[in-house]
A and B are shown apart, each in its own frame.
Chain A
Amino acid sequence: MAREVTCIFIAIYTVILVFGCVRLAQGREAYEQFLVALGAPSSIGFHLLALVFAIYHSVTWFNLAPKALPMHFGDKTVPPAAIAAAHYIGWVLISVALLLIAGAF
Chain B
Amino acid sequence: MAKSNKPIIWGPFAAGGTVTALLTPVLILLTLFVALGRVPDGLAYDNLYAFAQHALAKIFIFVVLTLSLWSAAHRLRITCYDFGLRQDTLVAALVYLAAAIGTVVVLGSLLAI
Contacts and interface: CB of A to CB of B under 8 A. Distances in A.
Contact of B69 (A14, A50, A95, A104): A14
Interface in A45-64: 47-48, 50-51, 54-55, 57-58, 61-62
Of the four ranges (under 10, 10 to 19, 20 to 34, 35 or more), the interface on chain B belongs to 35 or more
Contacts, number: 158
A82 interface: no
Of the four ranges (under 10, 10 to 19, 20 to 34, 35 or more), the interface on chain A belongs to 35 or more
A20 B47 CA distance: 14
B35 A90 contact: no
A81 interface: no
B105 interface: yes
B29 interface: yes
Contacts of B32: 44, 47-48, 51
B2 A24 contact: no
A35 B109 contact: no
Given A24-B109, A32-B45, A98-B30, 5 more contacts: A24-B113, A25-B112, A94-B22, A98-B27, A104-B29
